Chain A
């Protein structure tokens, strides 16, 4: 009898062999979904593709927004930043919430206990619990504190010139995230995902010293809460992580996503160095899934499974998300290839 998606994901995160390599995504753009299965809801699409899990991305499912300029797609996010939505599911902050440190003294954070935030996760749990893994989600503290609160420039400058300001902002976001994570897991989420980039193509955004001082402590608190509540946790960060990967592993994460191929991260290399880590992702959504051929997708999926799938501990995913530039036929080819090559025991030589 075949395993459920929930079981496959649980096994993979424990670095054990499921019946086949599981697959899921952080986000699948509606435009791609619509071409593959016209008129279907996200839930119907997940069932149709038989994906093993789903991430309830907080920015999409539980954050609150107020419309500011409909024509320009500008909204105020729940932290007070103006965010512009372009062609992608996630917006981009265009005006930060905090202009001046004094703004923090009268800052009222959003309410993580507002019940209406959790309606979507309740629906997903009702529909998929026991069949497909439901991932609670938190956008990592660094991401929110930098993008929504202070803006990139002020945040980075404050790391050097005013570390107390960074600590204050980080703490506000962390407190919200911890309550939100607890609420989602207590409702029945099977695992936790913490997403937010710490690195760029060439290396970390900030030095390993600053990463250890300002970034990973908050990640660790979220990971520890997940574990305390009995669920495994994965961290997503794009980029070349080699300078900071040990810091990430030391937070206690069970899985790491997406082992970014465009930044030169290699599944075999990470797997060899961190055999206890579940590896997730690596199917190149910048090049292969976006503009290469179906056969090239098939070969890349095979290669990923060959590098990371033996012995379990691999979840085959794209190297970020199925964004709107992904060719729908390539995503379908990716899923077919996971089924073709991902059946345990693997035999790919």
Chain B
């Protein structure tokens, strides 16, 4: 048994125990925090499986943003769960056990984990992404190259989905709401969490700087627009948690955010339209610099990563703002 196997087995074991604890926890705050732990351990597992870019995103999104999202949801609803009636447990358990058995049976046909002769590794596209990309794009991080250039249409679609989800949340939550409990919010804002406040204020510039670094360095190391966007948003969410919505809105008002949500998608689609105007196909970055196509690719990739980052950061922050607004009386 190698160190890799041992580390993987330990992480998977922790994940199993955590997942079971999540389903059993009646106090939903416990379930939400365990969900954060689950994501953090998953991020470590992704590092072990060589997926550094994914690990980055999972750590920022799973352990950061979605945990905060669930906790805010609990603050606005009810944090205790009713006991699950037996008539629901037995059929659901049966379905889960049968489905697991079916999947395990089907997995016997899969190549083993890490098999160098598996169809994934021998498919012609593997060579294109790992070797030809170095002549076409000169982008060492192939994940960024594939995401922004080879599969640029796909990524545009994903950004539009995020944009749509953001609009959906804003429409659901910005409407009229029932009167909230004012005293509770005020008590929270007046509380003196001195250490937390000083630490988060000191961290703030570093978080934003790091997000910029991740955005601009995504072509050479792990990083890119999605990661940078969620790190930006995590910074602003942290600030909102510590200092309240009024303070953070002085820097980044909701109105600006709503505009930025659309600006990112427009930058991305605009790059596509620009390449068409220059005589190429939609999102064919070679057109930016026909004499030096890989230079044009570099410029195009950077531009659309900025677009992705803007939309992702704005959607995540706007969603959190609208959740918080729901509970605070203006």
A, B from the same assembly: no
